[in-house]
Chains A and B, each alone.
Chain A
Amino acid sequence: AQSVAQPEDQVNVAEGNPLTVKCTYSVSGNPYLFWYVQYPNRGLQFLLKYITGDNLVKGSYGFEAEFNKSQTSFHLKKPSALVSDSALYFCAVSFYTGANNLFFGTGTRLTVIP
């Protein structure tokens, strides 16, 4: 069965410091991996994806993520956090097998402290 784990419910980081939001997955086959961000009272916004190719993917707002197949991880990173990055972040996995169902993690709330 497919599953996605975000081991940290809450991550706090000082403004200007690097940030990491962790994600691990357990799936069979070759997954597609995604990060989404959710601001209060708004829908999810797509940040980046890994489909194939280079393990380091760059996305919106300066975020990047590294696909690590041996560790089954897809951690989200940013070199320098902004207060405006404070939001709820979701990791998700899907398979391009007809049904493109996204399986989401439980989310990590990121707070950037000024």
Chain B
Amino acid sequence: EAGVAQSPRYKIIEKRQSVAFWCNPISGHATLYWYQQILGQGPKLLIQFQNNGVVDDSQLPKDRFSAERLKGVDSTLKIQPAKLEDSAVYLCASSSWDFRAIEQFFGPGTRLTVL
């Protein structure tokens, strides 16, 4: 079974530039998550999708971050404009909606450096 795919793996940009990350979840997983992991901290949820609908985006800085999952499969997360404090690893995860298999499976992440 293929895991969660993310690209790019690394990205370096200057502040005020824009950047986009892509995620393809495990086949059949209806739920997709984007997390931000700042160095030395645990991941923090940015947004959760159920199919192509948003379940929770309460922690997403909506003035600069946006995310979509138009066809209920892959997803993109965008930052525009980027700030220095956005430097972090952005993790995508997916899970089944069945509570008996509720664990989330994570991709390798995209390490973003904002200069």
Contact = CB atoms under 8 A, between A and B. Distances in A.
Interface of A: 4, 32, 34, 36, 41-46, 49, 51, 90, 92, 94, 96, 98-102, 104-107
B45 interface: yes
B103 A105 contact: no
B69 to A, nearest CB: 15
A104 B89 CA distance: 15
24 contacts: A34-B103, A43-B4, A43-B91, A43-B107, A43-B109, A44-B43, A44-B91, A46-B103, A46-B105, A49-B102, A49-B103, A96-B99, A99-B55, A100-B33, A100-B95, A101-B45, A102-B45, A104-B42, A104-B44, A105-B42, A106-B40, A106-B41, A107-B41, A107-B42
A101 B46 CA distance: 9
Q: Quick one: which of A42, A45, A102 has the most chain B CB within 10 A?
A: A102
B104 interface: yes
B108 A42 contact: yes
Nearest to A101: B45
Nearest to A34: B103
Interface in B23-71: 31, 33, 35, 40-45, 48, 55-56
